Amino acid sequence: MTNFDYNEYYKILGSRVDRVMDDYLPREDVFPEVLAEILRYSVFAGGKRLRPSLLLATVEAFGQNSEPLLPAAAALEFMHTYSLIHDDLPAMDNDDYRRGKLTSHKKFGEAAAILAGDGLMSLAFHALADSEIRPDLLVKMIKELADASGIRGMVAGQMADMYYENKEVNSETLDFIHQYKTAAMIVAPLRMGAISCLASEDTLAALTEFGVALGLAFQVMDDLLDVIGDQEQLGKRPGVDVRKGKATYPALYGVEASHKMVDQQTARAISALEQAKELRSPEYLSGIAQLLAERNR
């Protein structure tokens, strides 16, 4: 698509999701006020809105109206934010800062952070259920989100990540960790959007391949940004190795090889879209993939 501004498109998608999330979250004058405060602090603390944007972009790539799927998009960001709140807790990664701000448990306390994460996980399914699509398709989308965020996806990856902390890992283990911890929740919005558009199994398979590759490229780039110290983008304190003991791609392969891996996985993702024959505008998705690969270059 000539002269199409993918960066602006991505920003517009994110702003649409923010408006819907604002409607779902409680106001700060609703008792107990601290619950609304921590939920809003956590959800609106910044972030790329990648997962909800991928869902909306997928629907639009099929040439369909994404407006009825905005609650589902909000659901994805609620689920993602819950995972970040819990991931930062002392029992997990024990991070004091995220996106340049105090993590939720550092600002509000551990108990409040745990409850906020629990609340966002529940709110995710509430919002998803509000999507204006056929009930049979909605059930399939609910299952996709449950699998991607639970023991068949993100939870399994997080468990493996914790288990192998301060241990040597091989490439297969590292790929497992991030295919489940990161890529699963990137594949989910693609499949959810495609399901809502009555996609064929072949197209679903192609979008799954796209999502797995995109998820790995995204994770490798995040690892690289940690190494090169882009504190603003990653929200980490300067001079603090927040991933000490964690398995990362630069640690296993080196920085140069990891940069090549980002390019290879991005190319793999874009190539997979060629098999998604039902997409009318695959460039909506390939453009986002290219944007992510070019972070901090």
Distance CA 166, CA 239 (A): 20
Q: What is the pLDDT of residues 116-163, one digit of tens each?
A: 999 999 999 999 999 999 999 999 999 999 999 999 999 999 999 999
pLDDT computed for residue 23 by the predictor? 97
d(CA 119, CA 4): 38
Closest among 283, 287, 264, 263 to 274, alpha carbons compared: 283
Q: Where are the domains of the chain?
A: 6-293
Least confident of 184-188, 212-216, 250-254: 250-254
pLDDT surpasses 90 at 63: yes
Instruction: Tell the CATH topology of 6-293.
Output: Farnesyl Diphosphate Synthase (1.10.600)
How far is Cα 235 from Cα 216, in angstroms, rounded to an integer?
20
Give the length of the chain: 297
The whole-angstrom separation of Cα 291 and Cα 275 is 21
* First-residue to last-residue Cα distance in the chain: 23
**Cβ–Cβ under 8 Å, residues 120 and 39:** yes
Q: What is this structure's pTM?
A: 0.92
- Which whole number is the average pLDDT over 208-233? 83
pLDDT class of 104 with cuts at 50, 70, 90: very high
Does residue 294 or residue 24 have the better pLDDT? Answer: 24
Q: What is the mean pLDDT of the chain?
A: 91
Residue 32: helix, strand or coil by DSSP?
coil
